[in-house]
C-alpha cells in the first residue's frame, strides 16, 4: 500500500505492481520469490530516480538475485543471534546521519556486512567479535538511491 507521501512498504510480492505510483519503495524483509519482470521494474524505478530501502533480512535474502543484486551491489555478511548491538555513525557529515546521536544501542539480530560495494557509503557500523562491520549503507544507482539496513 502507498503510505505517506509516495512511500510504498512492500510486505508481499503481490504489492510490487504498485511501485510505479511510489517515490520510495521499502522491501521489508523477505517477501517471497520475486520474478525477473518485477526485479527489472524495480531496477528501472530506481534508475529513473526512485529510492529503494532494503530492510531486515532483505539484503541477505535477495543479494543472490541477479537484478536485485545489481541494486544492492556485491555484499557479504554474517547473521548475529539476538543480542545488544551498539551502532556508531561512520559518516557523520552525510545528510542522513549529521543530526543523529553518534551511537545507539538496540537489542536485535542483525545482518552484519563484512563486504559492501566500493561505491557505497557506510552510514552506521558496529563491532562484532572485535571486527568492525557495516550495519547500513547507501549507494547511487542510476538517478536513484539504494539504502540497505
pLDDT per position in the chain (149 positions), as tens? Answer: 445 678 888 877 778 788 888 899 999 888 888 888 889 999 999 999 999 999 888 998 898 899 999 999 999 999 999 999 999 999 999 998 999 999 999 999 989 999 999 999 999 999 999 999 999 999 999 999 999 98
Confidence (pTM): 0.88
Contacts of 137 (CB under 8 A, 6+ apart): 113, 116, 117, 120, 121, 122, 123, 147, 148
Residue 12 has what pLDDT? 74
Distance separating alpha carbons of residues 38 and 111, to the nearest angstrom: 25
| CB-facing half-sphere around the CA of 6: CA atoms within 13 A | 8
Residue 147: which of 2, 7, 4 has the closest Cα? 7
Q: What is the pLDDT of residue 4?
A: 66
Q: How many CB atoms lie within 10 A of CB 5?
A: 8
| Residue that is written with C-alpha cell 549507494 in the block | 139
Amino acid at each position: 500500500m502507498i503510505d505517506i507521501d509516495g512511500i510504498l512498504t512492500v510486505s508481499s510480492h503481490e504489492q510490487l505492481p504498485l511501485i510505479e505510483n511510489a517515490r520510495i519503495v521499502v522491501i521489508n524483509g523477505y517477501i517471497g520469490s520475486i520474478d525477473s519482470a518485477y526485479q527489472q521494474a524495480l531496477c528501472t524505478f530506481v534508475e529513473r530516480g526512485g529510492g529503494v530501502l532494503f530492510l531486515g533480512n532483505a539484503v541477505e535474502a535477495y543479494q543472490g538475485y541477479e537484478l536485485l543484486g545489481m541494486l544492492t551491489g556485491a555484499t557479504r555478511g554474517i547473521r548475529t543471534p539476538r543480542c545488544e548491538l551498539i551502532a556508531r555513525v561512520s559518516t557523520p557529515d552525510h545528510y542522513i546521519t549529521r543530526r543523529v546521536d553518534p551511537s545507539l544501542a538496540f537489542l536485535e539480530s542483525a545482518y552484519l556486512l563484512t563486504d559492501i560495494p566500493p561505491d557505497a557509503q557506510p552510514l552506521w557500523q558496529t563491532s562484532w567479535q572485535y571486527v568492525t562491520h557495516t550495519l547500513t549503507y547507501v549507494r547511487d544507482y542510476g538517478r536513484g538511491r539504494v539504502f540497505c539496513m
